[in-house]
A and B are shown apart, each in its own frame.
Chain A
Amino acid sequence: EDKVVQSPLSLVVHEGDTVTLNCSYEVTNFRSLLWYKQEKKAPTFLFMLTSSGIEKKSGRLSSILDKKELFSILNITATQTGDSAVYLCAVPKTGNNRKLIWGLGTSLGVNP
């Protein structure tokens, strides 16, 4: 059965800390992995990763994929209170349906 597992489930840090969020997957016909940030409402897209070892970066956020070990990490450096959210990892199925297989998410709290 396809699955996506995230760790830790929750994390509380102080502003300025660096955090690393983990996502491991077991999905047939893997093609890509997506990271989303969910605050109060809909998940907002952060990164799509398709190739191992190539870091995607956006400001203080970066992510990398390891297709051999079947995991991805999301790093946030110099965290700010606005980074507090649930970070979701998802893997799309291939084919016409393309449904997303979701992890449970990591709830990140950043304290001032």
Chain B
Amino acid sequence: EPEVTQTPSHQVTQMGQEVILRCVPISNHLYFYWYRQILGQKVEFLVSFYNNEISEKSEIFDDQFSVERPDGSNFTLKIRSTKLEDSAMYFCASTPRAGGPETQYFGPGTRLLVL
């Protein structure tokens, strides 16, 4: 069964460093998302991406964050200068074509720890 994959599974970084989180969505999906979940808190929407551009972003998704789909398969989230409060689990998700089910399929997540 096709699945969303994410790398790395864990990332530890120093405050101020740049990190890139990678995702490979399911191949025929068209909508891509990043969410994050700080330990013990609600899953929070960060950004949605459709037709090679950001379709919506939350107030969390400030200038420190960017997303890219550099080729036909990868979908990346870059955090330019990490802060302690960026420590969280980051989930990538994708959904199928327009008009298809709204079910979002999640990757296993990348646990980011900023020291």
Interface centre among B31, B42, B93 (most CB of A within 10 A): B42
The range of chain B's interface size is 20 to 34
Q: Are A48 and B101 in contact (CB under 8 A)?
A: yes
Contacts of B45 in A (CB 8 A): 99-102
CA distance A96 to B101 in the complex (A): 13
Min distance, Cβ B36 to any Cβ of chain A, angstroms = 11
Q: Are B104 and A100 in contact (CB under 8 A)?
A: yes
Min distance, Cβ A61 to any Cβ of chain B, angstroms = 16
Q: Are A97 and B109 in contact (CB under 8 A)?
A: no
Min distance, Cβ A64 to any Cβ of chain B, angstroms = 18
Quick one: CB contact mask for A12-24 with B, threshold 8 Å, 1 for yes?
0000000000000
Q: Are A102 and B102 in contact (CB under 8 A)?
A: no
The range of chain A's interface size is 20 to 34
CA distance A71 to B43 in the complex (A): 20
CA distance A98 to B89 in the complex (A): 21
Min distance, Cβ A94 to any Cβ of chain B, angstroms = 8
If A96-B55, A97-B50, A98-B48 touch, whether A44 touches B106 (CB-CB below 8 Å) is yes
Q: Are A99 and B42 in contact (CB under 8 A)?
A: no
CA distance A61 to B104 in the complex (A): 20
If A97-B56, A103-B42 touch, whether A45 touches B105 (CB-CB below 8 Å) is yes
Return the 8 tightest CB-CB contacts between A and B, nearest first: A97-B56, A42-B106, A92-B102, A97-B48, A99-B45, A102-B43, A97-B55, A96-B55
Residues on B facing A (Cβ under 8 Å): 31, 33, 35, 42-45, 48, 50-51, 55-56, 89, 91, 93, 95, 101-109
11 A-B pairs with C-beta separation under 8 A: A42-B108, A45-B103, A48-B103, A92-B104, A96-B56, A97-B50, A98-B48, A98-B95, A99-B33, A100-B35, A102-B42
